A and B are shown apart, each in its own frame.
Chain A
Amino acid sequence: MIPTNPPTPASLVSALEGQFGPAHAWTLALFALFVLVTLVISIRMRRTTRGAVDYFAGGRGFSSTQNGLALTGDYLSAASFLGIAGMIAIQGYDGFLYSIGFLVAWLLVLPMAQLMRNTGRFTMADLPAFRMRRMRVRLACSISTVTVCVFYLVAQMVGAGALVAVLLGLHDGGTFLGLSADQARTGAIVLVGVLMIVYVMYGGMKAATWLQIIKAILLLTVTGLLTALVLSLFSFDPRALLGAAADASGHGSAFLEPGLRLGVEVPGDPVQTAFNKLDLISLGLALVLGTVALPHILIRFYTVPDGRAARTSVNRTIVMIGAFYLMTLALGFGAAAVVGSERILAADPSGNTAVPLLAEEVGRLTAGPVGAAVMLALVSAVALATILAVIASLTLASSSSIAHDVFGHILMWGRPRESQEVGVARFSACLVGAVAIVLAVQARGQNVAFLVGLAFAIAAAANLPVIVLTMFWRRFNTQGVEWGVYGGLSATLVLMLLSPVVSGRTHPVTGESLSVLPAWIDIQVFPMENPALVAVPIGFACAIIGSLLSPERDSARFTELRVRSLTGWGADQG
């Protein structure tokens, strides 16, 4: 409890405020059950995982519905479940912009899924390497894959630590069973990290896919249940819900319009206003363009038998993700109306606890204290399961890339034994996992939400030009791939480093730093928080100029790639 708050009546004391209660026990029990079931599945999958195709691509035997569920699970991270609803609860309509960007992005994945399935084998690097057949191409793609995955991983794991600390009620220096907030965070990060390494090492793609499928079903079910309960409080009238949210938020009708957080209009500062608006557009572009090129989404298309199944699975994904984000809208406004933004902000300034608090409140209104404990436990356990599943996929994507591209094609000149490649993949899963755990423990307690945006921006600026030009441009060549990847990657990183996210933003009253670096370091040059609007064109320009400056061209390979990718000839085996 923050001391400045008025004392709350005992009936309103939340489980998120410190004492070990039935809700915590239920959360732990449910999460342990989830881990147990998925571990049993992993161990069973271990028996049927024999060759590289089984380990990296799940034996290419998943149906399009299964893969659609797995894609949904892959895509819906904790940022989607807790973050977006929390943003809507605090800032109103602007959180909805994120949902829209995350969903419509899949329209760009739709035509690419089939082409990628028909040309690649295991990793993203397979696509350009089909044409160029150069080690340098694989190295470049591998570097960008691992970079994107590690940033995303660290963001998710730090999120897991923060979630656990908040659930145990440790957000303001309390202790829980003798644990301080810091120890709880570290413990949670190490725990989910070790679990994810076990899944990936043990079961490979099959285990990761089943983990995702189970998680996606759980997440959609729990979200649906919670949404139905929230709407029932407002007798299923969305207008009543919106009105109540606007009244409770303290912003009035502005709460239901864009502009509270993104593209803020600063009165009397037209320059800053213009940059804020460009920032909104830049964010929208990053969300939409990054999805196609996220490595862990891309390798999912190799798990289905043919291009047609890949396309159908994207269609299924769009329906499920769309339904989920519409429910998030109801949850976000519901949290604003039922819980109130003051309590949400008091529990966690980033709003991540909006959904757990809402679940508890709704449970209490429908079934008393027992209902509160059960609903809170359900939501918390699902949130932990969500994080665990996503980081397992990310680890798998990066370890596949290290094993198949760097080891298999660079160290072994493209002639590794399958068993060696799989062994290296298991080893590099350990390595990537360990690195991610160390980084996440270092960054615990920091606000690392921007890392997810950074991962999307890198995918959009470094991977997307390479994928698109490989598929559609005859003149593309090795130097183009290298320039595109390294140019897009470094442009994004440099712009991010010089942006207000890293340094230069201070609280106008207290003078505290609102950026990552302390207040006395100010290297901010670039005025926008989202670099995509500048970085993506740089990535494309580098790829095109690099290609044109190099005399190399191989028209025959491009012809073969085009026939194969459109007809699917030869893609149904191996």
Chain B
Amino acid sequence: MVEYMEGTYRSRGGDPGEGAVADVTWSESAGRRERADAAYAWERLSVDPRFVKLRRRFALQVAVLVSLFLLSYLTYLLLSAYARDLMSYQVADSVNIALLLGIGQFLLTFVLAWAFGRFSARAIDPLAAQIRDRARDEGALSGRVSRR
């Protein structure tokens, strides 16, 4: 499977257990066909409705996380740079808005991380496990990451 487009080099036999090392007795066309089969199998897997659901959930989750994070962090940065009067407003004895917002960033980070982990464990991991099972049943895909 490892095809370098430059300096292509085939080991004679390769080390055992190195994953999908092309057998030297194969003709060029058989190797190509095998690659095409694998690509077709990946393509099929990627349009599996469960995978599409997984992809959308992950995208949504990341979008929510990153947008909340950027919104809060950039707000904080811009306030620290341009709203010095607001930041210096004392809420209580020597506790000002700047300190509260800073601690707030910490708390928000903890909450977002916890929520992300929980959502992933509930909504994403089971789906991924189902798709892995299906791929294993099909057996068309070499399970090993080819030696890169």
Contact = CB atoms under 8 A, between A and B. Distances in A.
Interface of A: 93, 96-97, 100, 103-104, 106-108, 110-111, 114, 121, 126, 129-130, 133-136, 238-239, 242-243, 246, 253-254, 256-259, 262-263, 265, 277-278, 280-281, 284, 288, 308, 311-312, 314-315, 318-319, 322, 325-326, 409, 413-415, 417-418, 556, 559-560, 562-564, 566-571, 573-574
Contacts of A107: 65-66, 69, 109, 112-113
Interface in B67-121: 69, 73, 76-78, 80-82, 84, 87-88, 90, 92-96, 98-99, 102-103, 105-106, 109-110, 112-114, 116-117, 120-121
Given A97-B102, A280-B81, A322-B110, 4 more contacts: A312-B117, A318-B109, A418-B15, A573-B143
A257 B106 contact: no
Given A100-B76, A129-B148, A415 B113 contact: no
Interface residues of B, number: 70
Interface of B: 2-9, 11, 14-15, 19, 38-39, 42-43, 45-46, 51, 54-55, 58, 61-62, 65-66, 69, 73, 76-78, 80-82, 84, 87-88, 90, 92-96, 98-99, 102-103, 105-106, 109-110, 112-114, 116-117, 120-121, 125, 128, 131-132, 135, 141-145, 147-148
B81 A263 contact: yes
Contacts, number: 192
B84 A106 contact: no
A312 B117 CA distance: 7
A418 B102 CA distance: 48
Contacts of B54: 566-567
Given A110-B113, A318-B110, A574-B144, A556 B42 contact: yes
Nearest to B45: A563
Contacts of B76: 100
A415 B148 CA distance: 9
Contacts of B145: 121, 564, 570-571, 573-574
B46 A563 contact: yes
Contacts of A121: 145, 148
A563 B7 CA distance: 29
Given A257-B98, A315-B117, A569-B131, A133 B2 contact: yes
A256 B141 contact: no
7 contacts: A97-B102, A100-B102, A114-B120, A134-B6, A135-B7, A280-B81, A308-B120
A546 B51 CA distance: 31
Contact of A106 (B43, B77, B87, B113): B113
Q: Which of B8, B39, B94 gathers most chain A CB within 10 Å?
A: B94
Contacts of B112: 107
A284 B131 contact: no
Counting chain A CB atoms within 10 Å of each CB, which of B65, B73, B76 scores highest?
A: B73
Contacts of A409: 148
Given A315-B113, A559-B43, A108 B69 contact: yes
B11 A415 contact: yes
A256 B98 contact: yes
A259 B116 CA distance: 34
Contact of B61 (A111, A281, A573): A111
Contact of A415 (B9, B66, B110, B144): B9
B55 A133 contact: no
A574 B80 contact: no
Contacts of A136: 6
B144 A322 contact: no
B128 A567 contact: yes
Nearest to B43: A559
A199 to B, nearest CB: 27
